[in-house]
Amino acid sequence: MKHLIASAAMLTSLVSAGPLPLIPLPVTMKTAEGSFDFSPDTAIRFDRSLQNEADLLAADLQTLGAAKPKTVPAEQKILLPSEIRLLLDASADLPASGYKLVIAEGGVVVTGKDAAGVYYGTRSILQLLPAEGDPAWKDDAPEKLPALEIIDYPRFAWRGMMLDVGRHFNPPGDVKHFIDWMAFHKLNVFHWHLTDDQGWRIEIKKYPKLTETGAWRDSSPPYGNRNSDDHQRHGGFYTQEEIKEVVAYASARHITIVPEIEMPGHAAAAIASYPEFGNSDISGYAPRVQTRWGVHPYIFAPKEETFRFLEDVLTEVCALFPSKFIHIGGDEAPKGQWEQSPTAQQVMKREGLKNEEELQSWFVGRIGKFLESKDRRLIGWDEIQEGGLSKTATMMVWRDAKWAKHALALGNDVVMATNSDLYFDHYQAPATAELAKGSEYEAIGGYLPIEKVYAYNPTSVAETPEQEKHILGTQAQLWAEYSKDMKKVEYMAFPRMAALAEVAWTPLARKNFDDFRSRLDGVMNHYEGGHLNFARPTPSPAKGADK
Hey, which residues are catalytic here? 196, 266, 332
Query: What are the beta bridge partners of residue 87?
Result: 111
| Pairwise CA distance, residues 96 & 100, whole Å | 12
Query: Which of 47, 59, 55, 114 minimizes the C-alpha distance to 85?
Result: 47
- What is the 3-state composition of the chain as percent helix, strand, coil, each rounded to the nearest 5? 40, 20, 40
Q: Quick one: 355 exposed, middle or buried, by C-beta within 10 A (0-12, 13-18, 19+)?
A: middle
What is the DSSP code (8-state) at residue 541? P
| Pairwise CA distance, residues 494 & 48, whole Å | 35
Exposure letters 502-538 (e unless 16+ CB within 10 A, then b): bbbbbeeebbeeeebbebbebbbbbbebbebebbebe
| Pairwise CA distance, residues 546 & 429, whole Å | 10
What's the residue count for the chain?
A: 547
Q: Quick one: 169 exposed, middle or buried, by C-beta within 10 A (0-12, 13-18, 19+)?
A: buried
Widest Cα–Cα separation across the chain: 79
Query: Which of 464, 454, 467, 472 minimizes the C-alpha distance to 516?
Result: 454
Task: Specify whether the CB–CB gap between 183 and 192 falls below 8 A.
Answer: no
